[in-house]
């Protein structure tokens, strides 16, 4: 499902700040850093920046050379295995659903069953990298669990598709719950300089529900 969003700058910032949107993995022991899913730059006061967030996730393998496997659509509870292609390269295959019809739960799991070789496992939303597990070794697995929630904040020197620093993650970011929403504006206020400066704030407005 696609959620149509618009970033609206009603702050006192003149487009000098970078706005980053990302997800936090809801698995408590998940040790990977969050990924900068979308970065908005140079959007001046009263400017608009439309974009789409998708709850449909795609999975792909990657390596240290910047190569990726074809992306595969992944549903909650689905399990994938990493095997060896006849060429010797890693390949991603969806594992058949259990014959007893058991629910696989909310997680997307990717298990490395190659005899040797670690691979990177990447998750994409709306064509952009939203989460990654690096160097998944044989017999290890990557586990992703996504809920319709985005986090937004103001940062600097952020690049889409790259891991966010701990400083960015520990700053005052705002949670945007998107469950049941078809479209909405994300309005940024605050900013400025000198004695009149205010903290940046984000809120959902003009919400259209499903």
Cα–Cα dist 85/70, whole Å: 13
Give the helix, strand, coil percentages of the chain, each rounded to 5.
5, 50, 45
DSSP classification of residue 16: -
Tokens representing residue 103 in the block: 């629910």
β-pairing, 141-144 vs 108-112, is: antiparallel
Tokens representing residue 141 in the block: 């697995």
pLDDT computed for residue 167 by the predictor: 82
pLDDT computed for residue 104 by the predictor: 64
pLDDT computed for residue 88 by the predictor: 75
Domains recognised in the chain with CATH numbers: 2-54+146-209 (2.60.40), 57-144 (no CATH)
pLDDT computed for residue 194 by the predictor: 78
pLDDT computed for residue 30 by the predictor: 52
CA-wise closest residue to 174 among 161, 189, 162: 189
CA-wise closest residue to 3 among 161, 186, 164: 186
pLDDT computed for residue 102 by the predictor: 57
Collapse the DSSP code of 196 into the 3-class scheme (helix H, G, I; strand E, B; otherwise coil) and give the result. Answer: helix
Q: What are phi and psi of 169, to 5 degrees?
A: -65, -30
pLDDT computed for residue 31 by the predictor: 54
pLDDT computed for residue 10 by the predictor: 95
The pLDDT profile of the chain, 210 residues, written as one tens digit per residue, is 899 999 999 999 877 789 999 998 776 555 567 899 999 999 999 999 999 999 999 999 998 888 899 999 999 899 999 998 887 788 999 988 665 555 668 899 999 999 999 999 999 999 999 999 989 999 999 999 889 999 999 988 899 999 998 888 888 899 999 999 999 999 999 988 777 889 999 999 999 999
């Amino acid at each position: 499902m696609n959620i149509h969003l618009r970033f609206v700058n009603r702050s006192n910032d003149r487009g000098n700040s970078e706005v980053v949107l990302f997800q936090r993995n809801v698995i408590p022991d998940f040790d990977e850093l969050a990924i900068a899913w979308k970065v908005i730059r140079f959007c001046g006061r009263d400017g608009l920046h439309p974009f789409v967030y998708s709850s449909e996730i795609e999975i792909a393998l990657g390596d240290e050379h910047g190569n990726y496997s074809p992306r595969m659509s992944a549903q909650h509870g689905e399990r994938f295995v990493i095997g060896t292609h006849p060429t010797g390269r890693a390949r991603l295959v969806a594992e058949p659903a259990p014959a007893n019809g058991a629910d696989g739960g909310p997680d997307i799991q990717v298990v490395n069953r190659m005899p040797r070789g670690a691979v990177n496992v990447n998750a994409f939303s709306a064509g952009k990298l939203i989460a990654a597990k690096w160097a998944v070794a044989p017999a290890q697995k990557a586990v992703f669990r996504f809920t319709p929630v985005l986090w937004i904040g103001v940062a600097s020197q952020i690049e889409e598709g790259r891991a966010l620093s701990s400083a960015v993650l520990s700053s005052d970011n705002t949670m945007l719950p998107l469950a049941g929403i078809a479209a909405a504006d994300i309005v940024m206020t605050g900013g400025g300089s000198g004695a009149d400066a205010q903290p940046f704030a984000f809120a959902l407005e003009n919400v259209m529900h499903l």
